[in-house]
């Protein structure tokens, strides 16, 4: 683990029209870390994920990736810096096959790596291999989530953004997905920024975590510290732990 | 029977031209969810460009076959390039600046571009029809019937063969391009989820521009075919053919490529058969009635995607 932050977010504010969704967010993700962001529904977690990718654009503050200011870049340019996102709602292309969705994921990466990356994706999620030629829109929720993560990985990201990968999934599938994230982090040193409502699992997995309330970061600490914190337990864990 | 066969050939030829124009409507609608109201006029401008280049090259029917083909390729490329510039400009001027605006705004600017193009051609080329002597003559007599009324021959002209063949080839090339190339995949991705496409590194603006350009290039092919087949053009053909091709695109299922081609064929056939068997004055009424009937029973058009699939 190196000390330089791979992603630095400084006082970022984001608006939807007149509504302010982020009210000056500051946080960082270091290379090789798994960092999680937890918070209630509507806190602004997905907005932060999307603001990192430039859509919506930050109205104030700075987003710095690997020492470069990316605040004003266009979304497709930010992706080219090798930031990949598995967004809220999965956003699988419904009328493309699993295979085509994965090709789309590889848009910005060198074609020379395609076969290697594809077999790695199928190794990670064998289910997708079975469904290779099935249309994305006909997959189950869990399969779509796997596809969304696999598609993001096809970009060979340096930073992987995952927005609620466990939403609406059966506990067994959640476990499988969290194991996959852990494995990618351990083996390949992949840096992961994870948004979760499933706070217990996320904090157990993560090196560090942040808590967001109403567009502000209210707490931060290691996964263990946050898991032990009374406030976090009361607000996000009671009844939520499986 | 012979008469029917002849109308069938004529209808397919006309339908091919409508189909090629319809693809431009359907592709643009697929990707931005809006009709490009200047598309018919880009078709019209292309046929004028074709006429100007043909005249400048001094092509006539007595030019040798090889030279004619070479020259027509040059004409086609010129028309396609200039039409592409018009298509690109339309998107940049009428659509992109208004993308976040209310839905009708870009339609109004596109109609504005349509009016500008029509008036520009009317002023520079005159309001009267422009004729072109036939360049490609000859053909085949498929069958002849002799009866009390005299002789009736079913003819398939070389021009008709050319139009149908080029249309079939372009359809195949285009379908493959949409299905297999990265540009085609990017277009489908933008069609299905534009935001996700940009998250994956697709330059959405450029993909939309390319879609306008591709539609305009096909309209230019149709413009040259129309000129060669009918031999007369005027500044208003874009409106008439545009409305028909738009009808074809909706009839086939707006957003669907095979639908546009099928819709074009259906409209071409209805128009031809109605003129042949009923009254030529009501051929447009027949085509539009068909549209109304289909839309009542199949709101998505003949090959349109059912709405449930849209996520
Ligand atoms: N596209 C949008 N337009 C307007 N308001 C939005 C939009 N997306 C989110 N919001 C608002 O911004 C706030 C933060 O939403 P979001 O980032 O989705 O929260 P979270 O992901 O933490 O549940 C909410 O109040 C939500 O209603
Ligand atoms: Mg969210």
Condensed to tens digits (0 to 9), the pLDDT of residues B105-156 reads 998 999 999 999 999 999 999 989 999 998 888 888 888 888 777 788 888 9
User: Does residue A167 surpass a pLDDT of 90?
Assistant: no
- Could you give the CA distance from residue A220 to residue B58 in angstroms, rounded to a whole number? 79
Confidence bin at B59 (pLDDT 50/70/90): confident
Task: Name the 3-class secondary structure at B136.
Answer: coil
User: Tens digits of per-residue pLDDT, B178-231?
Assistant: 999 999 999 999 999 999 999 999 999 999 999 999 999 999 999 999 999 999
User: Does residue A227 surpass a pLDDT of 60?
Assistant: yes
User: Tens digits of per-residue pLDDT, B156-177?
Assistant: 999 999 999 999 999 999 999 9
Residue A242 is predicted with a pLDDT of 43
Beta strand pairing status for A216-222 and A208-213?
Answer: antiparallel
Residue B147 is predicted with a pLDDT of 79
- Could you give the CA distance from residue B77 to residue B65 in angstroms, rounded to a whole number? 18
- A104–B198 C-beta distance less than 8 A: no
- Is the minimum CB–CB distance between A90 and chain B shorter than 8 Å? no
User: Tens digits of per-residue pLDDT, B16-29?
Assistant: 999 999 999 999 99
| Burial of B273 from C-beta contacts in 10 A (0-12 / 13-18 / 19+) | middle
Interface test with A, best of B181, B188, B199 (most A CBs within 10 A): B199
For A69-100, b where at least 16 C-beta lie within 10 A, e where not — what string?
ebbebbbbebbbbbbbbbbbebbbbbbbbbbb
- Cα of A59 to nearest chain B Cα, Å: 18
Mean pLDDT of the A65-72 span:
95
CATH 3.40.50.300 maps onto chain A at: 5-81+158-237
Å from CA of B256 to ligand 2 middle = 33
- B305–A107 C-beta distance less than 8 A: no
Q: Nearest C-alpha to atom 6 of ligand 1 is from which residue?
A: A16
Count CB atoms within 10 A of the CB of residue B43: 29
Query: Quick one: closest CA in B to A101, which residue?
Result: B189
Q: How far is CA A206 from CA A33, A68, B187, in A?
A: 8, 25, 38
Å from CA of A19 to ligand 1 middle = 9
- Is the minimum CB–CB distance between A91 and chain B shorter than 8 Å? yes
Portion 147-206 of A in contact with B at CB < 8 A: 151, 155
Portion 233-292 of B in contact with A at CB < 8 A: none
Å from CA of A231 to ligand 1 middle = 24
- Could you give the CA distance from residue B272 to residue B253 in angstroms, rounded to a whole number? 22
| Angle ∠(B196,B197,B202) on CA atoms, nearest 5 | 145
Residue A129 is predicted with a pLDDT of 96
Which CATH architecture describes the domain A5-81+158-237? 3-Layer(aba) Sandwich (3.40)
- Cα of A58 to nearest chain B Cα, Å: 16
- A93–B199 C-beta distance less than 8 A: no
- B311–A80 C-beta distance less than 8 A: no
Q: How far is CA A169 from CA A137, A198, A235, A239, in A?
A: 17, 11, 22, 17
How much of chain B, in percent, has pLDDT values that exceed 90?
69
- Cα of B183 to nearest chain A Cα, Å: 11
| Burial of B140 from C-beta contacts in 10 A (0-12 / 13-18 / 19+) | exposed
- Is the minimum CB–CB distance between B194 and chain A shorter than 8 Å? no
Query: Quick one: closest CA in A to B193, which residue?
Result: A93
Mean pLDDT of the B293-304 span:
84
Mean pLDDT of the B60-72 span:
87
Beta strand pairing status for A68-69 and A60-65?
Answer: antiparallel
Interface test with B, best of A87, A89, A93 (most B CBs within 10 A): A93
Count CB atoms within 10 A of the CB of residue B108: 11
Average pLDDT, chain B: 91
- Could you give the CA distance from residue B252 to residue A218 in angstroms, rounded to a whole number? 55
CB distance B118 to B100 below 8 Å: no
- Cα of B244 to nearest chain A Cα, Å: 29
CB distance A194 to A35 below 8 Å: yes
User: Does residue A197 surpass a pLDDT of 90?
Assistant: no
User: Tens digits of per-residue pLDDT, B260-270?
Assistant: 999 999 999 99
Å from CA of A194 to ligand 2 middle = 11
Residues at CB less than 6 angstroms from ligand 1: A 16, 19, 21, 39, 41-47
Q: How far is CA B123 from CA B55, B117, B126, in A?
A: 19, 10, 5
For B51-77, b where at least 16 C-beta lie within 10 A, e where not — what string?
bebbeebebeeebeeeebeebbeebbe
């Amino acid at each position: 683990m190196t000390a330089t932050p791979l992603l630095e977010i400084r006082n970022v504010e984001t608006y939807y029209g007149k509504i302010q969704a982020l009210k000056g967010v500051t946080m960082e993700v270091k290379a090789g870390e798994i960092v999680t962001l937890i918070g209630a529904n509507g806190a602004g977690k997905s907005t932060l994920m999307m603001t990192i990718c430039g859509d919506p654009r930050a109205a104030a503050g700075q987003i710095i990736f690997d020492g470069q200011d990316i605040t004003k870049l266009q979304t497709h340019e930010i992706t080219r810096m090798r930031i990949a996102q598995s967004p809220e709602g999965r956003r699988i292309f419904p009328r493309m096959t699993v295979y085509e969705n994965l090709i789309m994921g590889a848009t910005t990466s060198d074609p020379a790596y395609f076969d290697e990356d594809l077999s790695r994706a199928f190794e990670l999620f064998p289910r997708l291999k079975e469904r290779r030629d099935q249309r994305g829109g006909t997959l189950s929720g869990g399969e779509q989530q796997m596809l969304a993560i696999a598609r993001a990985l096809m970009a060979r990201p340096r930073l992987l953004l995952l927005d609620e990968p466990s939403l609406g999934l059966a506990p067994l599938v959640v476990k499988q997905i969290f194991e996959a994230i852990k494995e990618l982090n351990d083996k390949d040193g992949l840096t992961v920024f994870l948004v979760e409502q499933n706070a217990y699992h996320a904090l157990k997995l993560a090196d560090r975590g942040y808590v967001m309330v109403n567009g502000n970061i209210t707490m931060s600490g290691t996964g263990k510290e946050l898991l032990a914190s009374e406030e976090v337990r009361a607000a996000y864990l009671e009844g939520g732990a499986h | 029977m012979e008469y029917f066969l002849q109308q069938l050939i004529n209808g397919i030829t006309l339908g091919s031209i409508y189909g090629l124009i319809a693809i431009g409507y359907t592709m643009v609608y697929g990707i931005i969810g809006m009709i490009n109201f200047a598309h018919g006029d880009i078709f019209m401008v292309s046929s004028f460009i074709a006429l100007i280049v043909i005249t400048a090259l001094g092509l006539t029917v007595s030019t040798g076959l090889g030279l004619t083909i070479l020259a027509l390729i040059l004409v086609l490329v010129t028309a396609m390039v200039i039409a592409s510039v018009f298509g690109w400009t339309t998107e940049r001027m009428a659509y992109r600046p208004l993308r976040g605006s209310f839905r009708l705004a870009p339609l109004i600017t596109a109609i504005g571009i349509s009016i500008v193009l029509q008036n520009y051609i009317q002023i520079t080329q005159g309001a009267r029809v422009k004729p072109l002597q036939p360049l490609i003559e000859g053909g085949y007599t498929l069958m002849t019937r002799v009866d009390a009324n005299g002789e009736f021959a079913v003819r398939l002209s070389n021009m008709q063969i050319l139009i149908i063949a080029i249309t079939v080839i372009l359809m195949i090339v285009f379908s493959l391009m949409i299905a297999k190339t990265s540009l085609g995949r990017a277009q489908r991705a933008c069609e299905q989820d534009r935001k996700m496409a940009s998250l994956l590194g697709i330059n959405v603006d450029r993909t939309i521009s390319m879609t306008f350009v591709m539609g305009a290039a096909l309209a230019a092919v149709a413009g040259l075919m129309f000129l060669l087949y009918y031999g007369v053009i005027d500044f208003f053909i874009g409106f008439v053919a545009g409305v028909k091709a738009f009808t074809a695109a909706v009839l086939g299922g707006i957003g669907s490529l095979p639908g546009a081609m099928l819709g074009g064929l259906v409209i071409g056939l209805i128009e031809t058969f109605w003129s042949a068997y009923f009254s030529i004055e009501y051929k447009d009424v027949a085509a539009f009635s068909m549209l109304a009937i289909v839309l009542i029973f199949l709101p998505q058009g003949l090959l349109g995607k059912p709405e449930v699939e849209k996520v």
